[in-house]
Structure 1
Amino acid sequence: MDAPVQNPAGPVPTGYFRWEPEEDDVLICRAVREETHDVKTFVFAPRHKRQFEFVSGQFLTFEFDIDGETIHRCYTISSPPTRPDTVSITVKRVPGGPVSNWLHDQFQPGMMLKATVPMGVFSWAGMQATKYLFISGGSGITPMMSMTRASFDLALISDIAFVHAARSPADIVFHDELDYMSRRNRSIRPTFIVEDDAPRESWGGYRGRFDGAKLAMICPDFRERVVFVCGPAPFMKAVKTTLEAAGFDMGRYHQESFNFDDFTEEAQEQISEATEEIDSGVKVFQLEFTKTGRTIECPEGLTVLEAARRAGMRLPSSCSKGLCGTCKSRLTSGSVDMKHGGGIRQREIDAGMALLCCSRPKTDLVIER
């Protein structure tokens, strides 16, 4: 049977070139589409004739200049790699969120943003399975939508049970499109779970929160499938607990692992430990930043980014976990111990690049920042 491959979109057609942000990192907005009352999709294309190359599930890191402040945010690509001329992100308005509100209220077609190369490893690319279960909550639907759209475009022989949880019928993102794809391709079967009715729309389907009883009714053969889960952290925890309790083989379980809002407890503990060691004779390295002219101290065990923050420097960063690539910088001198999460490629490491958020100095450093 056919199965997803590493690059579902296939090779870039003759006469086209791949978009390379190292050459031109500016994308122009081609369209803004309203998905629900508080969710919009933003469609981007390169300024010059280029095509995107990525796999479903990856994300882009954007740079926003809002009220004189530079902010970096990561958004999962919701469009499929089978449509390489454009790339889309789907953004939910967050109360008080500076970026999401600016995008919803101010950003229009024709405006431009800087972005990095697509990154991330949450994807079905390269898998040989033919039965999948996608479980998403809220805006966690975006990577699942990219995979499903690719499967639909290529008519893959892949049985996809797609379960999406939302607050109300009015909050179901891509409702109409998923219904359309299921009518045209019977191997795509979306099911929606909502907590409450919408003000002017009652709901006759599954209600309440995701649980084992609903899962057994919606997808009785879930134990035979490869599972992908994405959504708010409490939602993903509940899904994982449900599957473990049902005896699911967790070797076939895949969960979006990053949260760009906060450090993990483990990272915070490492920072606290490094702070305690500063006064106990730990080795201290000198970090020279060539563009800002600053030289700071970094105790052994502390990341370059955290040392810079403590010294009052504002370096570009987003995930702080080696995933997004926002803090990527060139080391002109010295070496680091870098444990990244996929936000940098080997050829970039070979060229002297490093992610400052997950790099701990082994020597004094000279950094192009």
Structure 2
Amino acid sequence: MPTNNNQFERLRCIKRIDQTTDASTFEFEHLEQTPFEFQAGQFLTFEINHYNNLLYRAYSICSSPEKPNSVTVAIKRVPGGKVSNYLLDNLKAGHALPAMAPAGQFTQEANKTTKNLLLMSAGSGITPCLAIAQDSLDKNLDVNIHFIHSARISDDVIMASLLTELAIKHDNFRLTLILEKSDNAEHFEGRLDSPLFTQLVPDTNEQTIFICGPSLYMKSVEEIVSATDFNMEYFHKESFVPEAKAGEPVFSDINHQITFPALDKQFMANDQQTLLDAMQGAGIKVPYSCKSGICGACKCKVSGDVVSSSSEALTAEQIELGYVLSCSTKANSDLIVEL
């Protein structure tokens, strides 16, 4: 994969598996069949030609880095989802898509961890958590994994057979399914709340929590956990947030020069534009996904004065080095930018 975040490389889809009625997994390989380099929990940003409009979406890798000859992502149908629904309707084995290098900070390497991993997910949020679980097991790490997944019914659980297989094969992997409707006594019926969380995880303070899923699920779990005396430095989250619908852009009379030395390119950005919008308007390909300052896909390094509304997806070291989230940052002076 390219090491420069601004570069794309075409990946060939070699297998599609329809996992549920509204979700499928897609396995990709390099056209040159070279190995992938990534960390469990990272994502790929794809470029999609959607009826002659180039769109960009990030999908978490759900396969293990210990099997680097291919990567697998899961895509779930979303009401009104332009790209996900298009890919589910059209992407098949043999098709190729441009993709940027794997990125993201939702990894064990980038965060504080303990030997007890509590992986919590809902919906398609299962994908990065599953990658973290497989990677830990493939490496025979000295960890205990408790995987708690929430879904509406059992048929909605993406890669359910793989989860069951991991639970059977590994003594240090425990699987808990919480289903809104279930006729299986082995599953918990209802929704995750504080009493159920306490029942399932009585040793909360010994855990490292990785959580991914819809925003309401994420908010609920974070409130449950933060209400305990849990050290939130060991609470790591990755959100799948749909893009907000764009309204009319607001501009002022103040413009700043943006310089990209590596691309030998300069352009002007209004101080009411996000840096991401300005870069895209100038024809610069930038990875992004949530456009909400959460996923971290659009980070870039800047020299100059900026106003940022979010740095949630950045590490303290990245902030110190001058990285910002371009979707949540506006220029307050002339800037020099590196991707």
**Shared fold, TM over 0.5:** yes
| Corresponding residue SS for 2:145 | strand
Q: Which of 98, 116, 120 pairs up with 2:82?
A: 98
Quote the residue 2:136 is aligned against. 151
Paired AA for residue 324 in structure 1: A
Q: Conserved in 2, the CA contact under 8 Å of 1:229 and 1:254?
A: yes
Structure 1 residues 130 and 99: alpha-carbon distance in aligned structure 2, compared to 1, 3 A threshold: same
**AA at the equivalent of 2:198:** A
Listed as ranges, the matches of 1:305-324 within 5 Å are 305-307=276-278, 316=285, 318-319=288-289, 320=291, 321=293, 323-324=296-297
Per the alignment, in what secondary structure is the counterpart of residue 236 of structure 1?
Answer: helix
Paired position in structure 1 for 2:126 = 141
Task: Give unpaired runs (5+ residues) of structure 2.
Answer: none
Count the aligned residue pairs: 319
1:230 aligned counterpart, secondary structure: strand
Matches of 1:355 and 1:250, distance apart in 2: 22
Letter in 2 for 1:234: L
Q: Secondary structure at the match of 2:66?
A: coil
| Superposition deviation, residue 69 in structure 1 | 1.2
Whole-Å Cα distance in 2 between the matches of residues 225 and 244 of structure 1? 13
Amino acid at match of 2:116: K
Task: Please say if 1:132 is aligned against 2:114.
Answer: no
CA distance in 1, matches of 2:326, 2:199: 47
Secondary structure of the residue aligned to 1:81 is: coil
Choose which of 112, 115, 119 in structure 1 pairs with 2:96.
112
Match of 2:191 in 1: 209
Using the TM superposition, give the Cα deviation of residue 31 of structure 1 relative to its aligned residue in structure 2, in angstroms: 0.5
Unaligned segments of structure 1, at least 5 residues: 1-18
1:192 has 2:192 as partner: no
Which protein has the larger Cα radius of gyration, Structure 1 or Structure 2?
Answer: 1
Alignment of 1:245-284 (within 5 A): 245-256=227-238, 259=241, 261-262=243-244, 278=252, 283-284=254-255
Q: Deviations over 1:36-84 (max 9, x none)?
A: 1111111111111311111111111100001111110011111111111
**Counterpart position of 1:285:** 256
Q: How far did 1:360 drift?
A: 1.9
Post-superposition offset of 1:123? 1.1
SS of structure 1 residue aligned to 2:56: strand
C-alpha distance after superposition, 1:213-246 (max 9, x if no partner): 2122223222211111111111011111111223
Aligned AA (1:216) = T
Is contact 1:287–1:298 with CA below 8 Å preserved after alignment? Answer: no
> Are the structure 2 counterparts of residues 285 and 177 from structure 1 closer, same or farther at C-alpha, using a change threshold of 3 Å?
closer
CA contact (8 A) 2:258 2:334 kept: no
Alpha-carbon contact 2:8-2:99 (below 8 Å) kept:
no
* AA aligned opposite 2:297: C
Give the match for residue 208 of structure 2.
Answer: 226
Q: In structure 1, how many angstroms separate the alpha carbons of the residues matched to 2:145 and 2:166?
A: 11
Take 1:213 and 1:231, find their aligned partners in 2: how far apart are those partners?
A: 20
- The Cα shift of 1:362 comes to 2.6
CA distance in 2, matches of 1:63, 1:316: 9
Structure 2 CA distance for aligned equivalents of residues 50 and 308 of structure 1: 31
TM-score (norm 2): 0.80
Query: Which whole-Å CA distance do the structure 1 matches of 2:335 and 2:174 have between them?
Result: 56
Instruction: Tell me the TM-score normalized by structure 1.
Output: 0.74
Q: CA deviation at 1:121?
A: 0.6
Q: CA deviation at 1:104?
A: 1.4
Query: Which residue is equivalent to 1:47?
Result: 31
CA 1:247–1:297: 2 relative to 1, 3 Å: closer
Distance, in Å, in 2 between the alignment partners of 1:135 and 1:104 is 25
1:298 has 2:273 as partner: no
2-side partners of 1:87 and 1:295: how far apart? 36
Distance between the aligned counterparts of 1:128 and 1:139, measured in 2? 23
How far apart, in 1, do the equivalents of 2:137 and 2:120 lie? Answer: 18
Question: Structure 1: how far apart are the matches of 2:11 and 2:68?
Answer: 14
Distance 2:109 2:257 in 1: 42
